[in-house]
Amino acid sequence: MTMTEAAFYRLYSENRKAAERGATMDLIPVHAFMGEIYCEETGLWGYISYECSARLSEVFSDNPGLLHREKIKGKSGAEFYGYRIADHAKIEMIKDPKLRSLYDTCRRYWLGVATRNKIEAGRATLPTT
């Protein structure tokens, strides 16, 4: 998993969690992206280093309208960007083929989980053909 994919996945997973709570995703300050991240949907680990701000700037500029970016002033007075998936974001806004593939993989995974949960709860059945 590339650093760009790992940073995008962090945004995707936080957005999914916020949606499950019925909330809007909070801005994630760029310094909070540092470290390793595990992608449950692909079984891959990614690492996000100090270069993350450059990768997120690329995602922001290469995929217009996908991310919301805002300058944040920290407790120390330092200014940095915070990112989140834009409220009006659509799948078509993901122009990068690697990010689109990652998104599609994650989406298929969670659609499968939702279907399994419905089947286990007796609210849905698998097609017979």
pLDDT tens digits, one per residue of 24-62: 889 999 888 889 999 988 999 988 887 777 888 889 999
Fold of domain 3-120: Arc Repressor Mutant, subunit A (1.10.10)
Task: Return the domain boundaries, the chain.
Answer: 3-120
Q: How far apart are CA 46 and CA 68, in angstroms?
A: 23
pLDDT tens digits for 62-91? 999 999 999 999 899 999 999 999 988 898
Q: How far apart are CA 23 and CA 18, in angstroms?
A: 5
Question: Which pLDDT score is estimated for 70?
Answer: 95
> How many Cα atoms sit within 13 Å of 5 on the Cβ side?
19
pTM over 0.75: yes
pLDDT tens digits for 90-110? 989 999 999 999 999 998 888
